[in-house]
Structure 1
Amino acid sequence: MAAPSPLLSALMLVVLATAALAAAVHSSDSDKRLVKFYFYNKDNADQKIGNLIDSDLDKQDILDAGFNPDFPTKLLIHGFANGVGYASMQLPKNAYFKANSSVNVIVLDWEVMPLYPVWVYDVRGVGTRLAETLDFMVENGLLRLDQLHIIGHSLGAHVAGIAGELISSGRIARITGLDPARPLFNMKTIEGRLSKDDADLVDVIHTNAGGLAEITAVGHIDFYPNGGKVQPGCAWDITGACSHGRSYQLLAESIENPKAFPAWKCEDEWEASHLRCDVSDTFALMGEQVQFSEEGAYYLETRGGMTGPFSLSSLDDE
């Protein structure tokens, strides 16, 4: 048998090294150290870095961090090569407090290593840690799951899904998946990724489907703005990062403008993602105040640009 080529040997070494790094990162103790929760309320809403709760959970510490058990809770989870201070977390966080001061916002920060496979490997560990934390908060009278809305971008969407699968104290009210990550995920099974089984309501916004993110409909309702693949103003970006990030920009805009993004129902996700969806009589609203009468795949169009507003309608139309 011929010896493997130098290129194949090098690739095998990279795979083995990545697996070793992932195994080193992924343990119950390291997951606790890895995962940090930053708490925000109206008093520290303008700060990038909130009040930190990390590996040791304590009821009084959470209350001292400004958490109000009577308020609804928004929990944000970032994706690959992001963190608490990035726009994917800061834009929605800031929008929530502009729209409503009576809200808890938590950012789950899990910055790992600059290797995507390591992040993918650790998704389950981070999701497990999140489920444990939510169970602790429920059991200590801090959190009601019917007031919990988890928003996960990219890999963060799958972290949210795993937490929804593993939580033992009840069922999460809502998970919003913002362009759930595609590379290295098996979308033929619901294990280890976001699915509509993970919460009472799972809504998904696809903005770089088939690129950095999954094209498959995975929620109760899936939105495909502009076909969900390449967003207006992002055609120049061959990496897909511009379109991938548009998902959290659209969500943030919808928090302050709940009627910004009306959509109509398509026959299926193929129609929605291939721009073959004629206007139908079945409409929905995409975003924070999601409204729909039928599950399925929905299409809508938005403006271009880099910073918005992206809505084709104005606030005066409400």
Structure 2
Amino acid sequence: MKALVFLLLFNWSAGFLLDSLDQQACFGDLGCFSTAPPFRSVERPIDLLPKSPAEQQIKFYLHTRENPSVSSEEQLQVGGGVGSSHYSGSRKTKILVHGFTHNGHRQWLLNLATSLLKKEDLNVIIVDWGHGAGIPYTQATANTRVVGAYIAKLIQELSTVGPSLADFHIIGHSLGAHIAGYAGERLKTLGQITGLDPADPYFQGTDVRVRLDPSDAAFVDVIHTDGSSIVQLGFGVMQQVGHVDFYPNGGANQPGCDSDFFGKLSHTVWTAVTQLDTLAAEGAVACSHERSYVLYTDSVNSQCPYTAYPCTSASEYAAGRCLSCTGTGCSEMGYNAKNYSARGSFYLDTASASPFCEFHYQINITGRNNMDGTINIVLQGTKGRSANIPLMTSSEVHTKGHIISKFVKVPTDIGPLTNIALEYDKTTNILTGWAYPNDWQLVGMSILSAEEQKMYTFCAYGKTLTSHKPIALGLTGTC
């Protein structure tokens, strides 16, 4: 269903419904590409033949610390070797691949290349297949197979002077993620693929030969940011397609992005038609699909860990049930994912703007008597304090002995906790308020710092909270 809606939006061509069953196109040593199954399927009812590398005008732009900017970038040619370029076989190589309607000079690619070169002394190659990535989407989808094959051929040539295939890392966004998969499938021993919100239409639920999957590299990590329902026009896959799949904010609508159908539609159509390369299109008001590369770029040099927690679903994570790293272990989304051995699906929260990384806490409070109202908390650490955090969106009723458990996020690193401040605001509901005391007596208070994997307990036993009068609580042992 999602694929059909996407086609209605972007397949503005006279030959849209032409039958393409069991055709093939051959391009020299790249081999032949057929429209037969598994590339034609229920998920992909229309499968076109790809265009040649020459028709797509595929280019490879090299960026190194010696030539980091667009003005000094060098072009590598398949079949031409490294020539007199600054490519070095002694350095690891990262290859960046854009998706639908983009090109090799989009700002996000240049930002990511700059961040990577700041972090490491690398060969960074930006793939430009912009002439093959335009509308209609069905043709761009078909073209990805040739782009992947062409990248594989370049990597084979470059590996003859070094580094080994294990030191090549392809980072692809949207259709670019599946392109990375095609390249890795041919190379067999590619080191790493990072999929940035791999495209859903024509890929979700397809055979592994059609889409990115864990067999395409020694390590495949994926960031899902736009796997929302068709009603919300999500363009990214939701299914797990890597060794490690990250679902920031549940993997669907991202904070600060339009979440309604018409908001996302207007942004997507405008970007696709005009292909404007502006901050508005790629940063400040980026849609959820684009947020994946923004988060990855931020993770490269961020001092904040994008710690992600193993969980079975977004709802379980949102309930605060998945903050433990025991058992399968945790991971870190983005640049440092390769440093962790944990595998599976991982969840975390991010903010709506930079700095995106957030710190996660599970707060547990037990009361001696009944209460109705709201609770606000301020966390104090060795590096600073949080803002005032409402633990409830509206008045709640809790019976004595009940553990109030709340999951909160803090946008800055406040360090190990030292004390907290609590404020209880009793409800003013005249119908039920009389049934509950004005004061609320505490039995216990604990906070799990997920990033530290440490439980803090506070001097709460016997303390009384009077409505609208905040109190401070120190750590147990300092009471």
TM bucket (normalised to shorter chain) is 0.7 to 0.9
TM-score when scaled to structure 2? 0.57
Aligned counterpart for 1:312 among listed residues 358, 362, 367: 358
How high is the sequence identity, in percent, across the aligned residues? Answer: 32
Quote how far apart the aligned CAs of 1:258 are.
6.0
Contact kept, 8 Å, 1:227 with 1:273, in 2: the verdict is no
2:158 maps to 1:134: no
The structure in which a higher percent of residues are helix is 1
2:309 maps to 1:264: yes
Correspondence list, 1:130-279, <5 A: 130-138=151-159, 140-167=160-187, 171-210=189-228, 211-235=234-258, 237-239=263-265, 242-257=287-302, 259-267=304-312, 270-271=313-314, 275=318, 278-279=321-322
Quote how far apart the aligned CAs of 1:16 are.
4.0
Quote how far apart the aligned CAs of 1:235 are.
2.6
Aligned to 2:54: 30
CA-based RMSD of the aligned residues comes to: 2.9
Quote how far apart the aligned CAs of 1:278 are.
2.0
Aligned counterpart for 1:302 among listed residues 350, 356, 371: 350
Deviations 1:139-159 (A, max 9, x none): x32331121111000000000
Deviations 1:91-121 (A, max 9, x none): 2111112222x11100111012332111101
Aligned to 2:425: none
Which piece of structure 1 moves more, 205-214 or 253-262? 253-262
| Cα distance in 1 between the residues matched to 2:292 and 2:19 | 29
Correspondence list, 1:32-111, <5 A: 34-47=57-70, 50-54=73-77, 56-59=78-81, 62-100=82-120, 102-111=121-130
2:80 is aligned with what amino acid? D
Quote how far apart the aligned CAs of 1:228 are.
0.8
Q: Label 1:273 to 1:143 Cα distance change in 2 as closer, same or farther (>3 A).
A: farther
| Cα distance in 2 between the residues matched to 1:109 and 1:301 | 32
1:244 is aligned with what amino acid? H
**Secondary structure at the residue paired with 1:289?**
helix
Q: Label 1:297 to 1:38 Cα distance change in 2 as closer, same or farther (>3 A).
A: same
Q: Label 1:43 to 1:293 Cα distance change in 2 as closer, same or farther (>3 A).
A: closer
TM-score when scaled to structure 1? 0.83
Quote how far apart the aligned CAs of 1:257 are.
1.6
Structure possessing the higher relative contact order (Cα contacts under 8 Å, 6 or more residues apart):
1
**Secondary structure at the residue paired with 2:148?**
helix
| Cα distance in 2 between the residues matched to 1:158 and 1:175 | 10
1:128 is aligned with what amino acid? A
| Cα distance in 1 between the residues matched to 2:258 and 2:13 | 34
Larger of the two Rg values belongs to structure: 2
| Cα distance in 2 between the residues matched to 1:250 and 1:215 | 17
Deviations 1:132-187 (A, max 9, x none): 1111222x3233112111100000000000111012xx501110000000112252
Quote how far apart the aligned CAs of 1:223 are.
0.3
Q: Label 1:74 to 1:12 Cα distance change in 2 as closer, same or farther (>3 A).
A: closer
Aligned to 2:276: none
Deviations 1:245-282 (A, max 9, x none): 11111111111026431111002xx4479846622322
| Cα distance in 2 between the residues matched to 1:91 and 1:18 | 41
| Cα distance in 2 between the residues matched to 1:68 and 1:12 | 44
| Cα distance in 1 between the residues matched to 2:109 and 2:316 | 26
The structure in which a higher percent of residues are strand is 2
Q: Label 1:144 to 1:272 Cα distance change in 2 as closer, same or farther (>3 A).
A: farther
| Cα distance in 2 between the residues matched to 1:51 and 1:87 | 17
Deviations 1:187-216 (A, max 9, x none): 241012110010000000001014111000
**Secondary structure at the residue paired with 1:245?**
helix
Quote how far apart the aligned CAs of 1:130 are.
1.1
| Cα distance in 2 between the residues matched to 1:149 and 1:105 | 10
Contact kept, 8 Å, 1:161 with 1:198, in 2: the verdict is yes
| Cα distance in 2 between the residues matched to 1:37 and 1:316 | 43
**Secondary structure at the residue paired with 2:290?**
helix
1:238 is aligned with what amino acid? K
Contact kept, 8 Å, 2:226 with 2:251, in 1: the verdict is yes
Contact kept, 8 Å, 1:179 with 1:205, in 2: the verdict is yes
Correspondence list, 1:284-295, <5 A: 284-290=331-337, 291-295=339-343
Aligned to 1:3: none
Corresponding pairs, count: 296
Deviations 1:45-66 (A, max 9, x none): 1326721124x4222xx24221
Aligned to 1:15: 16
Q: Label 1:243 to 1:18 Cα distance change in 2 as closer, same or farther (>3 A).
A: farther
Aligned to 1:4: none
Contact kept, 8 Å, 2:311 with 2:317, in 1: the verdict is no
